[in-house]
């Protein structure tokens, strides 16, 4: 059973000091920093994050990263997509650091943005900006389940310039 916490996946180039500092800002914010690149540790960290009782839990990773990697490889002409994460719940929000420059994530964030634009928020990953963003999260359609994302990814055609579009839409 999932705890009643709003999960926010913080992706991008995040300073490791951001998480402890963010946790100390408010009692209703807990954090789950990124584990090592080990998939088992990532899944364990995601389960810990979902079981927290704080109103907001900020995680320093994307629990769907393995799925994103499979999508990226398939889009680049690699192995066919083999979905294995349909049971993982999608975060409630993605907070995207402005410094994110990884092209392999652009199409994925665009897909999420197209499906639920209020749930993908570009933000400067400083403690003050993250706190302000969390305090004023917009309402809107929830991100789809990971199974629905799997289906949408098969029909999605990315367009260039996502990062610039995020920055200009805020």
pLDDT in tens, 134-161: 999 998 889 888 778 777 776 776 554 4
The parent domain of residue 141 ranges over 6-169
Residue showing tokens 């998939």: 39
Distance CA 23, CA 57 (A): 9
| In-domain check, residue 66 | yes
| In-domain check, residue 65 | yes
The number of folded domains in the chain is 1
| In-domain check, residue 1 | no
DSSP character at residue 87: T
Provide the CATH number for the domain around residue 78.
3.40.50
| In-domain check, residue 115 | yes
What's the pTM?
Answer: 0.80
Higher pLDDT, 85 or 59: 59
């Amino acid at each position: 059973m999932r705890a009643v916490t709003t999960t926010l996946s913080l992706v991008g180039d995040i300073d490791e000091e951001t998480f402890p500092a963010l946790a100390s800002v408010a009692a209703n914010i807990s954090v789950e920093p990124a584990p090592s690149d080990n998939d088992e540790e990532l899944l364990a960290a995601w389960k810990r994050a979902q079981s927290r009782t704080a109103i907001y839990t900020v995680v320093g990773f994307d629990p769907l990263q393995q799925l994103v990697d499979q999508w990226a490889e398939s889009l680049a002409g690699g192995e066919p997509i083999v979905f294995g994460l349909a049971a993982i719940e999608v975060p409630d929000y993605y907070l995207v650091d402005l410094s994110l420059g990884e092209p392999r994530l652009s199409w994925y964030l665009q897909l999420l943005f197209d499906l639920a634009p209020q749930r993908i928020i570009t933000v400067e990953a400083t403690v003050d900006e993250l706190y302000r963003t969390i305090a004023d999260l917009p309402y809107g359609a929830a991100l789809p389940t990971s199974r629905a994302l799997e289906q949408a990814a098969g029909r999605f055609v990315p367009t260039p310039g996502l990062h610039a579009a995020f920055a200009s839409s805020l």
